[in-house]
C-alpha cells in the first residue's frame, strides 16, 4: 500500500545484459566498438585537470555550446556520417545528403541520452485522450513510455518483408489523430524508408499531428529526414550520441526540429530536470561534434564490417535483413533464436535475442570490430557444425 497505482502498472524496459561475472565480447546492445576520438579524450582530460572547480558548479542548463556544435556537425555531414566526404581536412555531405538550409542551434534540444529525450517528447506531443501510431516491432522503449504516461497506442503490424506498412500507419493515424512515431532505420529490423517515402507519408498525414522519426542508426547508411524540416512544421527528429558517435557512456541524445517545437520540449525539461547534461558530457559531446572526420571514418568501418558479416551469414544459410544500421537481424532455419543466443554465449560472445512473439526466431547482432566479428564467425562455425 506504500506504492502508487501508477508504479504498480509500470512495465520497465529491459536493456541488453551488461554482465560483470565474465568478460564477454559484447555484441548485444548496439554500442560502437570504437573508442571516442582522441580529441574527445583529450578535451575531457583537459577539462578535469584544468577546470576542476567547474565540477562543483552547475553546468549550462541550455548546453548552448553543445547545441552549436551539433548544428555545425549536421551541416558538415548532412546527417549521415558514413557517406560524408573528407577532403583535405574538410568534411562535406554526400550530394544526396545535402541539407537545403543551415541547421541552427535553436533547432537543437539535448537530453540525458535519447531515451530521456524521447520521454520528454512523448510527454510534450502525445496525449492520453488519443492513440498514437507506431509499428508493432520497433524500439521497445516506446511502449514503456506509453505506459508511463498513460498514452494509448495503436501498434501496426509490419509487412511480410518486415518493412513498415506505411499505408496502414497513415490510415490509423488519420483515425486516431494522436501522432506517429517510428525509428528510421527501424529497430530491431535494421530496415529503413527513403527520405522520399517519409516525405510522402508526412504529406498525407495531418499537419496538426506530431510526426516523430527516431534516427538513432541513420549514420550507418540510411537517409536522414533533416532536409524535410524545411517543409513540415510537425516533424521532430530524434538522434543520439550512443551509436555512431561512440558515446553510449556519456548519455547524450538530441532532437532536431523547428524552434517552436524545441521550445516546447525545453519547457517539459525545465519542469523535470533543469540540468540533464552534466558539465563533462557537454565538453565531450562538443569535442565529438568538432571531430566529424573521425566519426565519419568509424561509421564507414562499421558499415563495411556489417556488409561483410551479412555475406557470411547468408553463406551459412541465415535469412538476414539488408541492414542500414550497426546491427544485423537474422534467423537460421535450423536453430531457434534463443538456442543460438545461448550457444554463442557459451562461446564467450553476447548477441541479443528477443522473446517477443513474432520475432522470437531472430537474433540481433551488433557489429563490432573486424577482430570481434572474426571471433563471432568462429563461434557460429562451431555452433553450426
CB closer to ligand PLP, 113 vs 380: 113
Task: Say which residue the cell 502498472 belongs to.
Answer: 9
The residues that touch ligand PLP, with contacts defined as CB under 6 A, are 30, 113-115, 139, 183, 187, 214, 216, 240, 242, 248, 253
Among candidates 162, 215, 212, 238, which has minimal Cα distance to 326? 215
CB closer to ligand PLP, 75 vs 242: 242
CB closer to ligand PLP, 266 vs 347: 266
User: What crossing angle do the helices spanning 259-269 and 113-125 adopt, rounded to 10°?
Assistant: 100
Cβ–Cβ < 8 Å for 259, 48: no
Cβ–Cβ < 8 Å for 216, 255: no
Vertex 75 angle, CA 209 and 81, to 5°:
90
Side-chain-side CA neighbours of residue 384 (13 Å): 17
CB closer to ligand PLP, 29 vs 384: 29
Report how far Cα 58 is from the mean position of its chain's Cα atoms: 28
Q: Please give the backbone phi and psi of residue 155, each rounded to the nearest 5 degrees, phi first.
A: -95, 120
CB closer to ligand PLP, 275 vs 312: 275
Cβ–Cβ < 8 Å for 91, 292: yes
User: What crossing angle do the helices spanning 370-384 and 337-346 adopt, rounded to 10°?
Assistant: 110
In the complex, least distance from residue 211 CB atom to ligand PLP, rounded to whole angstroms: 16
CB closer to ligand PLP, 226 vs 335: 226
In the complex, least distance from residue 173 CB atom to ligand PLP, rounded to whole angstroms: 19
CB closer to ligand PLP, 78 vs 192: 192
Cβ–Cβ < 8 Å for 289, 72: yes
In the complex, least distance from residue 238 CB atom to ligand PLP, rounded to whole angstroms: 7
In the complex, least distance from residue 64 CB atom to ligand PLP, rounded to whole angstroms: 20
Provide the 3-class DSSP secondary structure of residue 379.
helix
In the complex, least distance from residue 253 CB atom to ligand PLP, rounded to whole angstroms: 4
In the complex, least distance from residue 353 CB atom to ligand PLP, rounded to whole angstroms: 16
In the complex, least distance from residue 142 CB atom to ligand PLP, rounded to whole angstroms: 9
Amino acid at each position: 500500500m506504500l506504492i502508487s497505482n501508477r508504479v504498480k502498472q509500470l512495465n520497465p524496459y529491459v536493456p541488453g545484459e551488461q554482465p560483470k561475472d565474465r568478460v564477454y565480447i559484447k555484441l548485444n546492445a548496439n554500442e560502437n566498438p570504437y573508442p571516442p576520438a582522441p580529441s574527445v579524450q583529450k578535451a575531457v582530460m583537459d577539462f578535469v585537470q584544468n577546470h576542476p572547480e567547474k565540477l562543483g558548479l552547475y553546468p549550462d542548463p541550455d548546453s548552448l555550446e553543445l547545441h552549436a556544435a551539433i548544428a555545425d556537425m549536421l551541416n558538415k555531414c548532412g546527417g549521415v556520417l558514413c557517406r560524408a566526404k573528407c577532403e583535405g581536412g574538410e568534411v562535406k555531405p554526400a550530394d544526396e545528403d545535402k541539407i537545403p538550409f543551415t541547421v541552427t542551434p535553436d533547432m537543437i534540444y539535448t537530453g540525458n541520452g535519447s531515451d530521456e529525450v524521447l520521454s520528454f517528447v512523448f510527454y510534450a506531443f502525445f496525449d492520453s485522450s488519443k492513440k498514437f501510431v507506431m509499428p508493432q516491432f520497433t524500439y521497445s522503449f516506446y511502449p514503456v513510455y506509453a505506459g508511463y504516461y498513460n498514452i494509448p497506442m495503436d501498434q501496426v503490424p509490419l509487412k511480410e518483408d518486415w518493412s513498415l506498412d506505411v499505408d496502414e500507419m497513415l490510415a490509423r493515424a488519420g483515425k486516431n489523430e494522436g501522432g506517429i512515431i517510428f525509428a528510421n532505420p527501424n529497430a530491431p529490423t535494421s530496415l529503413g524508408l527513403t527520405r522520399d517515402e517519409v516525405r510522402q507519408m508526412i504529406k498525407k498525414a495531418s499537419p496538426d499531428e506530431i510526426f516523430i522519426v527516431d534516427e538513432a542508426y541513420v549514420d550507418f547508411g540510411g537517409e536522414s529526414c533533416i532536409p524535410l524540416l524545411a517543409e513540415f512544421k510537425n516533424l521532430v527528429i530524434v538522434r543520439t550520441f550512443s551509436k555512431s558517435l561512440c558515446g553510449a557512456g556519456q548519455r547524450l541524445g538530441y532532437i532536431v526540429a523547428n524552434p517552436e517545437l524545441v521550445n516546447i520540449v525545453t519547457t517539459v525539461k525545465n519542469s523535470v530536470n533543469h540540468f540533464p547534461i552534466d558539465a563533462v558530457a557537454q565538453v565531450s559531446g562538443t569535442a565529438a561534434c568538432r571531430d566529424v572526420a573521425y566519426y565519419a571514418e568509424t561509421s564507414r568501418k562499421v558499415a563495411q564490417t556489417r556488409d561483410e558479416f551479412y555475406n557470411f551469414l547468408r553463406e551459412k544459410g541465415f535469412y538476414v535483413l539488408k541492414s542500414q544500421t550497426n546491427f544485423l537481424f537474422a534467423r537460421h532455419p535450423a536453430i531457434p533464436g534463443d538456442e543460438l543466443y545461448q550457444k554463442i554465449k557459451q562461446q564467450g560472445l553476447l548477441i541479443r535475442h528477443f522473446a517477443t512473439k513474432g520475432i522470437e526466431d531472430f537474433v540481433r547482432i551488433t557489429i563490432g570490430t573486424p577482430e570481434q566479428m572474426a571471433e563471432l564467425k568462429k563461434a557460429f562455425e562451431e555452433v553450426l557444425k
